[in-house]
Amino acid sequence: MIKKILNFIRDVHTELRDKTTWPSRDEVLNSTIIVSTSIAVVSAMLFFVDLGSSSLVRFVVVDNVSFFKIFFSELTFVLFVLVTVLVIIIYTRLKSRLLR
């Protein structure tokens, strides 16, 4: 039993050392930038779809509600702007590191 476990551990070590292709630092940074940008774009799309649908529901349910009043009074808009700025900062720093 112990011999089987030791053989398994040895095989795993050999697999990880010799047969696995690990991504380079540049590949990891490029992938991180792509994923971060995709998350920001999808988040923006979902934010505006959510904002539009909630505004439509509020307009139908409550009379005389201005879209801009709802848009600028929502805490979610402020959070969205903060997250977007944060993503842009992270993106530019990762991009500058990648170009070094």
The pLDDT tens digits of the residues spanning 35-62 come to 999 999 999 999 999 888 887 777 666 6
Q: Establish if 18 belongs to a structural domain.
A: no
Residue 28 lies in a domain: yes
Among 32, 43, 8, CA closest to 95: 32
Q: How many domains does the chain have?
A: 1
> Residue 56 belongs to what domain range?
23-98
- How far is 61 from 73, CA to CA, in rounded Å? 18
Distance, CA of 81 to CA of 75 (rounded, Å): 10
- Residue 81, pLDDT score: 81
Is it the case that residue 76 has pLDDT exceeding 80?
no
The answer to whether residue 34 is domain-embedded is yes
Is the residue at 5 inside a domain?
no
Tell me the whole-structure pTM to 2 decimals: 0.47
Range from 29-43, 50-64, 76-90 carrying the lowest mean pLDDT: 50-64
pLDDT at 4: 92
pLDDT above 70 as % of the chain: 82
Q: Give a yes or no: residue 17 inside a domain.
A: no
Residue 10: inside a domain: no
